[in-house]
A and B are shown apart, each in its own frame.
Chain A
Amino acid sequence: MSEITVNKNDGLKRFVSLIDRYFAAGGSQMQFNIVSKKTLLEAQKDPEKYSNLLVRVAGYSAYFTQLSKEVQQDIIERTEEKL
């Protein structure tokens, strides 16, 4: 995406390697949330401002601020892995 200013792609390459590694080991499917806990907590506080924020729930994406509190919590609590 030419509009994204990317200084280096190391993180992105590590991310692709992780997918390759999972698939080479016999994994079938992966889906991701790439969002900080801070953003999600801010979105809970100010739903107007974050009304367009999409997140992955399960096999689909949805607008975070329209989700029930329980599902929002579920996504907030998911382990934030470090690459």
Chain B
Amino acid sequence: MALGSFQIDTQPVRSERIDRLHKYVTSFAYGICPERGHYLTEFYKDNMSLPAIVRRAKAIDHVLQNMSIYIMPGSLFVGNQASKPRWAPLFPEFEVEWVEEELIKGNPYFPDERPADKYILCEEDKPVIKSMCDWWAGKTHTDTLRARLPKDALATHYDLKAADIGTYFQGGDGHFAPDHEFLFTHGIQYIIDECQKKLEEINWNEPDAIKKKDFYDAAVVSANAIIRFAERYADLAEKTAAQETDKARKKELYEMAEICRRIPRYPAQNFREALQFIILVHICIQIEDNGAGVSFGRYDQFMYPLYKKGLADGSLTRDLALELTENFFLQIYTCNKVRSWVDTDFYRGVPMFQNLTIGGQHPVKKCDATNELSYICLDATFNTRVPQPSLTVRFHRNTPFEFKMKVAEVIRLGTGLPSIFNDETYIPALMNRGYELNDAYDYCVIGCVEPGTAGLLGGRTGGAWLNCTKILEMSLYNGTDPRTGICLHPNKNGKDLATFESFEEVREAYLDQLAYYVKMEAILENTIDQVWEETLDEPMAAIFGCPTTTIPRGKPIKQGGAKYDLTGQQTIGTANVANSLYAIKKLVFDDKVITGAQLKHALETNFSDMSTDPSGVQIKAMCLQAPKYGNDIDEVDEIAREMLAAVANELVSYKNTRYGRGPIGGTLHCSTSTVSSNTPFGKVCGATPDGREAYTAVADGQSPMRGTDIKGPTAAIASVAKLNNILLSCGSLYNMKFSPADLV
């Protein structure tokens, strides 16, 4: 073995069906499908008088009844989001400016001419896209946001990039795990019956009666829409079966038709039907809006009763369950999203964040919950080798060693999957935000790294990225951004790096700027939620996401329909902030080897002024030599801990728009998830006292800065573990890299 990569050197084990399906799915380049945008617009044009939520339900129904559907060769499941696998639908109701600029005018690139993250766009689709852009111009979510946001918050996002929330200008929320278990054990007809009962029971004396009626009307439309969508597949499967010459495939297609006549209206009777049910629900959610991070919850837990039943009645074997799981994974991998070129910088590599969780503990018994399906999912990830679903494993103090070794073997493959989560910190982190004990034990991972309980958390585990490196930089220039010259908030003491008289003054200036920009972030987050609630509240997200609370309460998620509702975000650059503050403390105030003015000049000139003494290059070397976070050095790790905790605590002081309206939680909270924001954020940040050159990438997640953790993995993990991880109730992210040769 060459040991360059296990991924290259070891072969997957695939059945003929899975191998063929894998080849088929991965043969499609990414593309853009205008159908969803077109049918949605067609409906909106003629129906603006309907209540917002009913209009949305009916518009999505119109899309589902008219969009192209297909069956992939050999697949045992149906469900497609766009006209081809890995093609992305358009969502013009959120923003059309970038769509018109890029797709129609090619500014800065046509999607197929991008330097990375390319998408095919067919020339003949352009007139349809242009016409949807024309109709939506001035009426989109982004237009409303721009008119509504205070100018300082807009400048924070657009000009300073101290926080960036572009993805929620251009799209919906996503970021929840539907209550799949509830749905496939009850069937959608149950939801229709419940909503109709509730409609009859509405108390017209109550002030919210009309809103409730609108909600139940919309819920019934959406519930019927998914049933009719499934029937379209049943028709297609029958038609395909009639023409199929291969006998075995013909039989499969008739079975698929039969399943789609019953599912999702009625409960799933077996393992395969439950997977078909989940796929249809998932696809509908991914068509209702373009929010990423729609996750699956604890697959090995909620599928296990059906797995056991199948083994017992002889309808299932381990191999068949594995094949069905792999087929399910490949079906899910067909979903895609296209982002504006600017936003793509934050989301490199076309991620969908469709997370699937295994392992962990039983919510009631509190014992290890690993089972054979946990192993099957690991095998499926090993064999399918596609980036979706994003597999997550929960570890706890009693996770069996054998399971950990199996997880390690799959990680060794080098696909980056699965990632590992620690119950011992995640569970108390959730309880600190008000989660009940059993619900906390039942958490799954949503999106990247965010914990939440399937069916109980109302989305919003994602939010703005907070660019702490930029905030630090502004605190060193008396609140002015050196790149744009904008000053929204001068330092309280009016000082800068040249005039600070003690490290305490530097620290206070940073914390004061941080508090100001967290406030800007809170304004951005809550305004977006407010506008979503008023114009784009979503019946499918409500009845599939949180059916056990939205239906009894008669309100969708953004009106407070979920059991738990916290607004998440992503804090970037902890390592740069800690290293920079420590370098200032050491070089300027403790060792006094340079003055603050000298350091400021070096930063302003990006360490390139050779006429000073010491020269820019020498100052850069001093900055780089100062101890760094990631080497188990308490002095600098403690600064990292304090500064990350400051963000977390400041965020929780802001309420979200659902506070006091039903859900538990109701505040903002912190994560260190990065996606690929550390590169675009780096592009707006000048040189920093940690020795980082201007406009280069900042550190990812809560990881040490690249290349600065030089004392080995034990020291690196010691530093990262010192952070107050329990405050990161919206998730923690630590990247490590090893050579394959080390894991033999």
Contact = CB atoms under 8 A, between A and B. Distances in A.
Given A42-B4, A59-B449, A59-B673, A33 B416 contact: yes
Interface in A43-62: 50, 52-62
B353 interface: yes
12 contacts: A5-B1, A27-B717, A29-B421, A32-B735, A32-B738, A54-B415, A58-B733, A60-B353, A60-B390, A66-B117, A81-B716, A81-B736
Most chain B CB atoms below 10 A, which of A10, A27, A42, A74: A27
B414 A15 contact: no
A45 B447 CA distance: 32
B247 to A, nearest CB: 32
B9 to A, nearest CB: 9
B611 interface: no
Contacts of A33: 414, 416, 735-738
Contacts of A16: 401, 404-405, 408
Given A32-B737, A34-B6, A77 B425 contact: no
B4 A83 contact: no
Contacts of B497: none
Given A1-B410, A33-B737, A63-B349, 4 more contacts: A26-B722, A31-B735, A32-B735, A80-B739
A79 B737 contact: yes
A60 B448 contact: yes
B675 A82 contact: no
A23 B163 CA distance: 30
Nearest to B462: A59
A59 B735 CA distance: 9
A54 B387 contact: yes
A12 B410 CA distance: 11
A34 B701 CA distance: 18
B245 interface: no
Contacts of B697: 70, 73-74
Contact of A58 (B448, B707, B728): B448
Nearest to B409: A1
Contacts of B737: 32-35, 75, 78-81
Contacts of A39: 4-5, 8
Given A29-B422, A81-B713, A53 B348 contact: no
A71 B447 CA distance: 20
Nearest to A51: B26
B10 A28 contact: no
B351 A60 contact: yes
A62 B350 contact: yes
A18 B713 contact: yes
A28 B713 contact: no
Contacts of B676: 57-58, 67, 71, 74
A8 B743 CA distance: 10
Interface of A: 1, 3-16, 18-23, 25-36, 38-39, 42, 50, 52-63, 66-71, 73-75, 77-83
B349 A57 contact: yes
Given A29-B731, A39-B8, A81-B713, A58 B736 contact: no
A68 B422 contact: no
A28 B412 contact: no
Given A12-B408, A28-B728, A57-B676, A79 B706 contact: yes
B318 to A, nearest CB: 14
Nearest to A43: B5
Contacts of B405: 9, 12-13, 16
Interface string B27-57: 0000000000000000000000000000000
B243 interface: no
A78 B414 contact: no
B6 to A, nearest CB: 7
Interface in B400-424: 401, 404-405, 408-417, 419-422, 424
Contacts of A11: 741-744
The 7 closest A-B pairs by CB, nearest first: A59-B448, A62-B349, A56-B416, A28-B732, A25-B721, A61-B416, A31-B419
B130 interface: no
B707 A36 contact: no
B413 to A, nearest CB: 7
A83 B713 contact: yes
A23 B422 contact: yes
Contacts of B11: 3
A8 to B, nearest CB: 7
B724 to A, nearest CB: 9
A27 B414 contact: no
Contact of A31 (B385, B387, B420, B718): B420
Nearest to B292: A60
Nearest to A38: B4
Contacts of B296: none
Question: Of residues B349, B703, B709, which shows the largest number of chain A Cβ atoms within 10 Å of its Cβ?
Answer: B349
B522 interface: no
B503 interface: no
B714 interface: yes
Contacts of B447: 59
Contacts of B673: 58-59
A41 B409 CA distance: 24
Interface string B479-514: 000000000000000000000000000000000000
Contacts of B386: 54
A71 B350 CA distance: 13
A8 B744 contact: yes
Contacts of B718: 25
B642 to A, nearest CB: 16
Contact of B348 (A7, A27, A67, A77): A67
Interface string B653-678: 00000000000000000000111101
A28 B426 contact: yes
Interface-central residue, A3, A15, A39, A53, by most chain B CB under 10 Å: A15
B10 A21 contact: no
A66 B387 CA distance: 13
Contacts of A75: 737
